Structure 1
Amino acid sequence: MQKIRILHVVQAAGGVDRYIRMLLKYLDKEKFENILVCSQDFHEEDYIGLVDSFEQVEMTRAIGGNDLKAIKEVRTLIKKYNPDIIYAHSSKAGAIARVADIGLKNCCVYNPHGGAFNMRCSAKKKAMYTAIEKVATPFCDKIICISDAEKQSALDKKICKDDKLQVIFNGVDIESYESGAHGVVKRKDLNIPEDAFVVGMAGRMSPQKAPDVFVKMAKRVKDKVPNAHFIIVGNGNQEAEIRKYAEDNGFSDSLHITGWVDNPMSYVELFDVACLLSRWEGFGLALPEYMMAGKPIVASKVDAIPNIIQDGENGLLVKVDDDVGASNAVMRIYQEDELKDKLVTQGLEDVHNRFNARRVSEEHGKLFEKIIK
């Protein structure tokens, strides 16, 4: 049987990069051939054994003159490989790939990995992102939503009709994590005492992930628990602001910022409580990762997060921008061992039943086969 050839187009690295690697790992190699067309932010060595061909095109996050050059280059690669399906990942690549494919009549699948129109930004920007999605929608066959909340948002904004949308929940590579090395990073490596109470977050220090709320929560917890320490796994343009707040409030020695790391889960393993206090979230891949590591979760009640976290069952939910509520939730976990154990147990059950990477790839495989029939 001839393999189904899929050409993946992707601009944004980070979480999308991890998602694609996970998807390709479990996608049936007997049925599918995969070509990756990616931005300069990707590394070919990460895709050895996962793709049949690797191509790079300069793509930038911001809208600009470079986009026309990128569209032309992607169109050339579409003609070169003549795929059965083009799979565009994230908003920018989604626009570039769909425009590049106009008139070429390939099947096209688009996954925004969290619609840009759901970002907390100015009304003018939201309107622009919504307009771009509406204009580009006729040029693809299926739009994959990574949560029920994302699908509902697309319907509310009239991006397209219901039959063009398909929900495939995100997942994490549980098998890889459980069979991998653990305890690689020690508390002493970050100058954290073994008996410290450690609260952490994994994510960019950017407005979406609300590191400013995290650090304000940290101050409140530190006032009540003197041996509390705080870890931010990631980098971002708010780092100086976050460090200054900790310094001004006298706990900079208890705040540990790792910067970009290749092994974020090794740092998550150090947490006693894991936070995701995002202001908007298409899915929140950190949440099943926290569950996989057996960590109790405090998260904001926004967008897709309540699709994943049931308050009081597998985590605690707080309002957006609520550092007081977040600190209270963290303190509950600190003080109530029974609650902590319940959240961890249910989280582990949920990640195995609902957020396994194999399920993500299987659902994609069924969709790909259905589309080209």
Structure 2
Amino acid sequence: MAKKKILHIITRLEHGGTLSNILSLMEGLSKEYDVVLALGSFKTEKEKVEKSAGASGCRIVWLEEFRRNISPLKDLNTLMDLIDLVLRENPYLVHTHTSKAGILGRAACAVTNFKNTVHTPHGHVFYGYFNPFVSSIFVLLERLAARFTKKIIVFSNAEKKDHLDRKIGQDGKYVVIPNGIAPAPYLKEYDIAANKAELGIAPEKKVVGFAGRLEPIKGADLFVKAIKQLSKERTDFTAVMAGTGSLEAAIKENAKEEIKTGVFKMLGHREDLSEILAIIDVFVMTSNNEGFGLAAVEAGLSNKPVVATRVGGLPEIIIDKETGLLVPSGNVEALCFSINKLLDDQNEAKRLGENGREKALLYYSEEKMLERLKNLYENL
């Protein structure tokens, strides 16, 4: 019997939670479905995507004018390409991902009268990305697109609430399927001393870490403020920041003294996040908004205590004083207090890290995510 065909549509695969989620889906779903992945053609990413996604067994369709930025002519051309793609592939199901791909992909389904459509927002762009006017346009478009969607898959109850608060779809249209990852890389034993030495960190130093896109929505500037303040209070730690983004140059300028003295190290993009997490004593998430917070799961799997802002889906992963510590968004004093607490109390840090790993293994495995998704696909 021929496999059912699933057409996935996304603007692009970038580093971070969305990339991890999509590649996991491609690999897991290709075992039971004929998977087609349609996405924007970016020269810098083509080779990696073809290697990663192609190796999973899915077929890739490149859309030359598919871009994240708003461009009326290119967006219209992409819509026409998607209409042609839906008609040509005639899939069992269309699964769109992220805001713009979701709007254009579901519009193509509406035009072709294709009804078996699901959408995963991967967070949202309702605030923290655009000015209020542009954000309101996205909300209106999401409301319209929801009418042509059988199910909207969100990673957390907080993400679901954010959508319902803006009157996007009805409660029964939402399905919460938490993100999941393969745990193996995070359960390995690493040579901590060697990993520290490679980064120029003294073996006796404790390590405070951040990993994520260096964008305003991720609150990277708050992490830097905390490190600058902590470095005035204690000298027994080094801070590391893994990631790239629009704030990179500003952060380097703001923290140039701490970088010069070796207190703060910017690592850029890292493929070996599990090895970085292995040397970290306290992992910090300073997001202003977070649909889920995959990095918190990765830190949990690595047995590391997490200090995170109480935003979005993070409180569903980080249970305050059980699997980590939660602080108010934007509050540098509370952030410093919690980091200090875990640096000073190794027993508490160990307890939180162990609890975090137990929860991550129980609820956020790649296997569980795929099982829930396949069940949804088969019962639409």
Does residue 159 (structure 1) correspond to residue 168 (structure 2)? The answer is: yes
Taking the TM superposition and a 5 Å limit, the aligned residue runs for 1:225-304 are 225-248=234-257, 253-304=262-313
Counterpart position of 1:62:
69
The Cα offsets for residues 66-89 of structure 1, whole Å up to 9 and x where unpaired, read as 211211222222222111101101
Q: Which residue of 2 aligns with 1:2?
A: 2
Unaligned runs of 5+ in 2: none
Is the aligned partner of 1:111 residue 2:120?
yes
Distance 1:250 1:346 in 2: 33
Q: Which amino acid aligns with 2:165?
A: D
For residues 212-264 of structure 1, what are the alpha-carbon distances to aligned partners after superposition, in whole Å with 9 as ceiling and x for unaligned?
A: 10011001221222132111111111112111221256765221111122222
Compute the displacement of 1:175 (Å): 3.5
| SS in structure 2 at match of 1:24 | helix
User: 1:344 maps to what in 2?
Assistant: 353
- 1:355 & 1:86 partners in 2: Cα distance? 24
The whole-number CA distance in structure 1 between the counterparts of 2:129 and 2:322 is 28
| Cα distance in 1, alignment partners of residues 228 and 35 from structure 2 | 48
Matches within 5 A, 1:173-192: 173-175=182-184, 177-178=186-187, 182-183=190-191, 186-192=195-201
Where 1:360 maps in the other structure, the secondary structure is: helix
Q: Are the equivalent residues in 1 in contact too, given 2:26–2:58 (CA < 8 A)? A: no
Matches within 5 A, 1:68-147: 68-106=76-114, 107-119=116-128, 121-147=130-156
Deviations 1:186-228 (A, max 9, x none): 1112211111111011101110111110011001221222132
State the 1:326 CA deviation.
0.7
Q: Deviations over 1:96-128 (max 9, x none)?
A: 211122232331110000021143654323312
The Cα shift of 1:28 comes to: 6.6
Mapped partners of 2:326, 2:260: distance in 1: 26
CA distance in 1, matches of 2:174, 2:362: 23
The amino acid across from 1:21 in the alignment is: L
* Structure 2 residue identity aligned to 1:9: I
Give the SS at the match of 2:280: coil
Give the residue type in structure 1 aligned to 2:152.
I
The reply to whether residue 52 of structure 1 matches residue 58 of structure 2 is yes
Once residues 200 and 176 of structure 1 are traced to their aligned partners in structure 2, the CA distance between those partners, rounded to angstroms, is 18
Of the structure 1 ranges 250-259 and 317-326, higher mean CA displacement relative to structure 2 is found in 250-259
Using structure 2 for the length normalisation, give the TM-score.
0.92
| Aligned counterparts, 1:283-362, within 5 A | 283-362=292-371
Q: Give RMSD over aligned pairs.
A: 1.9
Distance 1:25 1:182 in 2: 26
The CA deviation at 1:298 is 0.4
Q: CA deviation at 1:332?
A: 0.3
Name the structure 1 match of 2:37: 36
8 Å contact kept, 2:181–2:366: yes
Q: Secondary structure at the match of 2:111?
A: coil
More deviation in 334-343 or 349-358? 334-343
Query: What is the letter of the counterpart of residue 10 of structure 1?
Result: I
Measured after TM superposition, the shift of residue 176 of structure 1 is: 5.1
Cα–Cα, structure 1 residues 347 and 250, in superposed 2: closer, same or farther, change >3 Å?
closer
- 1:18 equivalent in alignment to 2:20: yes
Which secondary structure does the structure 2 equivalent of 1:166 belong to?
strand
> Partner of 2:379: helix, strand, or coil?
helix
Deviations 1:298-333 (A, max 9, x none): 000011111111110000001111111111100000
Kindly report which structure 2 residues correspond to 1:185-204, keeping only aligned pairs within 5 A, or say none. 186-204=195-213
Partner SS state of residue 102, structure 1: helix
* 1:250/1:345 CA distance change after superposition, 3 Å: closer
Identical aligned residues as a percent: 28
CA 210–252 in structure 1, closer or farther in 2 if over 3 Å, else same: farther
User: One-letter code of the match for 1:17?
Assistant: L
The amino acid across from 1:238 in the alignment is L
Distance 2:377 2:254 in 1: 49
Within 1, Cα distance between the matches of 2:124 and 2:305?
28
State the distance in 2 between where 1:331 and 1:49 align: 44
Contact preservation (8 Å) 2:128, 2:216: no
Q: How many residues were matched structurally?
A: 369
Query: 1:176/1:274 Cα in 2 relative to 1: closer, same or farther (>3 Å)?
Result: closer
Distance 1:236 1:230 in 2: 18
User: Matches of 1:284 and 1:100 in 2, distance apart?
Assistant: 30
